[in-house]
C-alpha cells in the first residue's frame, strides 16, 4: 500500500498562527504534526507517501524535503483550489496508480496504530474500509450507519443520528475509488465530499467496511484541541528544548521550542514556539506564543498574531 496525506488546508481555525506556520508542520511536543502521521503509516509498512499541498507548498517542501530525515519517501502534488477531500485525493491518482492506499488527514493525531485494520482491509478485498470512532455526540460528525461490520449509509452531521460511529479521518481505499470520483457533484457547501464518493461505492454494491478505533483521536485544528493534543503527548509533563532559555515557574503541560527565550512569573498548559522571545511580567495560561512577545500582565487563551511569529 501507499500513503496519501492531505495537507493543503489553510488551517483557518488556528489563525493567525497558521498564516505563518502551515498546520501540518506546527510543532506538537516539539515534533511536526505531520510526523505523527508518518509514524502511523510506517507502522503499517508504508513509507512511500504523497503529500497533497496547496499554497503552503514552499514551506512544506522546505520543512520536509524528500522525507528521508523522517524515514519516508515523499512525493508532492499541488491542489491549486481547495474544493473538498474528494477533490484533493484526486490529485494523488497518478502517484497511487493501481495500488491500494491509506488516506490520512494531515491534522489528525492518533494514540494507537492501525496495523490490524490495514491487515483486515487487505485480507477482505473490500473496496474501502473506514476508521470510525464511538462518540457521545455524533451529530457533530459524519456518521456511519452499519449492518454488522458493513457500512450501508453515511450521513453528514445528522440532526437525528442513527449511529454513534463518527468517521475518524482515516480511510483505506482500493483503486475502485478512482472510477467514482469523476461523476461526483459538489455538495451544498460547494465541495466534493469524500463521504459522497464512499456512498457511491456502497450504492454500486461494493463492500465498504467499518473499522472501530479503540484509541484516542485528536483533531488539532483549534486552540483547545491543539493544546489538548500537546498535553496528551507529553502526559502532563514539561518539555524544554535544550537550546531554550527559561526564567519562571513551569507548570504542567508546557512545551518550549528550540531556541526560544521565555521569561514569566509562571506558565502552564501552553506552547512556546521555536525561536520565540517571550517576556511576560505576569502568568501565561492556555496559549500558543511565538516571535517577540512582551506583556505587562497575564496572558490567557491567546494565539499571538502571526506577524509576531519567527
Domain-located, residue 98: yes
pLDDT tens across 231-276, in order? 999 998 999 999 999 999 999 999 999 999 999 999 999 999 998 8
Phi-psi region of 85 (alpha: psi -120 to 50; beta: other; left: phi over 0): alpha
Reported confidence tier of residue 144, pLDDT bands at 50, 70, 90: very high
270 & 169 share domain: no
Q: Which of 79-88, 164-173, 293-302 has the highest mean pLDDT?
A: 164-173
Domain-located, residue 227: no
pLDDT tens across 7-63, in order? 987 767 777 777 778 889 889 999 999 999 999 999 999 999 999 998 889 999 999
Domain-located, residue 225: no
156 & 249 share domain: no
The Cβ of residue 175 has, within 10 Å, a number of other Cβ atoms equal to 14
49 & 157 share domain: yes
42 & 178 share domain: yes
264 & 210 share domain: no
285 & 179 share domain: no
Could you tell me the CATH number of the domain that includes residue 194?
3.90.550.10
57 & 129 share domain: yes
Structural domain count of the chain: 2
Domain containing 296 equals 236-308
Amino acid at each position: 500500500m501507499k500513503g496519501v496525506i492531505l495537507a493543503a488546508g489553510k488551517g483557518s481555525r488556528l489563525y493567525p498562527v497558521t498564516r505563518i506556520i502551515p498546520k501540518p508542520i506546527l510543532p506538537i511536543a516539539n515534533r511536526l504534526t505531520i510526523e505523527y502521521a508518518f509514524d502511523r503509516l510506517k507502522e503499517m509498512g508504508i513509507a512511500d507517501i504523497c503529500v497533497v499541498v496547496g499554497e503552503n507548498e514552499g514551506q512544506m517542501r522546505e520543512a520536509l524535503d524528500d522525507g528521508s530525515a523522517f524515514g519516508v519517501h515523499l512525493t508532492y502534488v499541488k491542489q491549486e483550489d481547495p474544493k473538498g477531500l474528494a477533490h484533493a485525493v484526486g490529485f494523488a491518482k497518478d502517484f497511487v496508480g493501481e495500488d491500494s492506499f491509506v488516506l490520512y488527514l494531515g491534522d489528525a493525531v492518533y494514540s494507537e496504530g492501525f496495523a490490524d485494520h490495514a491487515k483486515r482491509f487487505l485480507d477482505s478485498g473490500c473496496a474501502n474500509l473506514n476508521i470510525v470512532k464511538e462518540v457521545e455526540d455524533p451529530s457533530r460528525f459524519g456518521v456511519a450507519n452499519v449492518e454488522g461490520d458493513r457500512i450501508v449509509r453515511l450521513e453528514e452531521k445528522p440532526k437525528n443520528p442513527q449511529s454513534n460511529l463518527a468517521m475518524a479521518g482515516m480511510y483505506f481505499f482500493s483503486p475502485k475509488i478512482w472510477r467514482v470520483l469523476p461523476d461526483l457533484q459538489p455538495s451544498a457547501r460547494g465541495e466534493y465530499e469524500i463521504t459522497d464518493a464512499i456512498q457511491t461505492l456502497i450504492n454500486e454494491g461494493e463492500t465498504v467496511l467499518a473499522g472501530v478505533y479503540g484509541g484516542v483521536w485528536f483533531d488539532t485544528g483549534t486552540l483547545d484541541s491543539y493544546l489538548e493534543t500537546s498535553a496528551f503527548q507529553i502526559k502532563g509533563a514539561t518539555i524544554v528544548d535544550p537550546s531554550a532559555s527559561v526564567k519562571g515557574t513551569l507548570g504542567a503541560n508546557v512545551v518550549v521550542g528550540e531556541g526560544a527565550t521565555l521569561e514569566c512569573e509562571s506558565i502552564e498548559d501552553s506552547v512556546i514556539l521555536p525561536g520565540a522571545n517571550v517576556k511576560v511580567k505576569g502568568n501565561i495560561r492556555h496559549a500558543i506564543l511565538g516571535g517577540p512577545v512582551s506583556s505587562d500582565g497575564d496572558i490567557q487563551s491567546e494565539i499571538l498574531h502571526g506577524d509576531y511569529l519567527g
